[in-house]
Each structure stands twice: as structure tokens, then as C-alpha cells.
Amino acid sequence: ETGVTQSPTHLIKTRGQQVTLRCSSQSGHNTVSWYQQALGQGPQFIFQYYREEENGRGNFPPRFSGLQFPNYSSELNVNALELDDSALYLCASSLVGQGNIQYFGAGTRLSVL
Amino acid sequence: GENVEQHPSTLSVQEGDSAVIKCTYSDSASNYFPWYKQELGKRPQLIIDIRSNVGEKKDQRIAVTLNKTAKHFSLHITETQPEDSAVYFCAASRGGATNKLIFGTGTLLAVQP
């Protein structure tokens, strides 16, 4: 196991709603990245947080936002859900200066109806 | 833009045979290349990685080769076993402050007993 946990495991929402996904990083890891994995695709980078600040973002609209807390936990928030937001959302934690190896959680499966 | 192409998309081998998966990256500044194995419904698991200062790395039955000039890297699995069956993803990263991973589209490996 990687020590990275995500909650909830599964979630069903309707279009237009808002959702918050949670991630608990491996102890001591100061960086968390979030990825969206559509069915049959590779993970797509959403953004990364380092020491509670966003320090990189992929090609996702502003309705995707995040937070990182001092206790190594983090959140991914998605507003105004669209059907295409249905996917597996993965977080990965890493430690800057230790090879930046990313360890993934098991993900949250989000279904938007 | 940044892109990683991965081939083949599916690969079926007999138990005991070798399997090779190939990736090509577009960003010449990439310097870190991990491979992840993802079993159905589970987290991506790092199986091996290579950095741009080496050309080959081996760990038991798994090896990765890197050709920086051609911007190619490959995963080699020898003496395949049924438990090797999974989806394999290659990825590339620049490392540094934002070590986002750019993933390939995945290869479904089926090892027939």
C-alpha cells in the first residue's frame, strides 16, 4: 500500500451540482497532485499543490479547484458538474527532493447523471 | 504540446513469453519516465522508473530502456505470468517544482496461461 487514501470510493451526482473529493497524503509528503482518468484513458493532470499553494495546473477550467492543508490532506472541488466530469479521480502524493516519485491513491469514481 | 504516445493498446502473450511496450514523448525537457501498472479497479502502482541520465534499468523480470535522442522508452517484461495481466501506463515528467506526469493511453496486457 502507498499510504495515500481517498474518500469517498464512489459518488453519484447530478449535472450542475458541486462535489468535494478528499485525499490523505503519505505522511511527510509535501506535494499532492490530482488527476482525472476517463474510462479507457490514461490519467490527465488537473493541478498540483505544494506547501498549500497551487504550483501547476493542467488544461482544466476554473470550476476545478483545490486545497491542501498542513496535515497533508487535500481536497478537489468541482462546481457546476457536467456529464463529461464522470471519471475516476486520483490523487498522488510525493516529496520534493526525494525523486518526485508519485504514489497514487485508489481514486474516487464520480458518476454525473 | 506535451504528449506521450503508447503502443500497442492491447497485447496478448502466452505465459513465459516476453512482452514489450513502447512509448514516445514529445517534450525534450522530460527527464523522468515512470511505468505504472493498474489492475482493474485498483490504484496505479509504480513498477519501475528511469531518469534521463541512464539508458537502462532492470528489476528482476522488468526492465526499461530509454533513448533520449529518439525520445523513446520501452518496458520489457520477461517470463510473463498470469498475474502480470493488467493495464500498463508509461509517463513522462520534467521533474522540478511541478513534476506533473504526462501519461500515455495505456496498454492492456493479457497473459494467457
User: Distances in Å between the alpha carbon of B19 and those of B23, B27, B59, B74, B81?
Assistant: 14, 26, 15, 10, 11
Which of A55, A46, A34 lies closest to B96, judged by CA? Answer: A55
User: Is B54 at the interface with chain A, CB within 8 A?
Assistant: no
Contact assessment for residue B95 and residue A100, using Cβ atoms and an 8 Å cutoff: yes
pLDDT digits (tens, 9 = 90+) for B12-61: 999 999 999 999 999 999 999 999 999 988 899 999 999 988 899 999 99
Mean of the pLDDT values across residues B56-85? 96
Least reliable range by pLDDT among A43-52, A91-100, B62-71: A91-100
State the pLDDT confidence band at A1, using cuts at 50, 70 and 90. low
Residue B67 to residue B24: CA distance in whole angstroms: 10
Measured between beta carbons, the chain B residues lying within 8 angstroms of A104 are 36, 43-45
C-beta atoms of B89 and A96 within 8 A: no
User: Which three cell numbers, joined as nine digits, stand for B74?
Assistant: 520501452
C-beta atoms of B43 and A90 within 8 A: yes
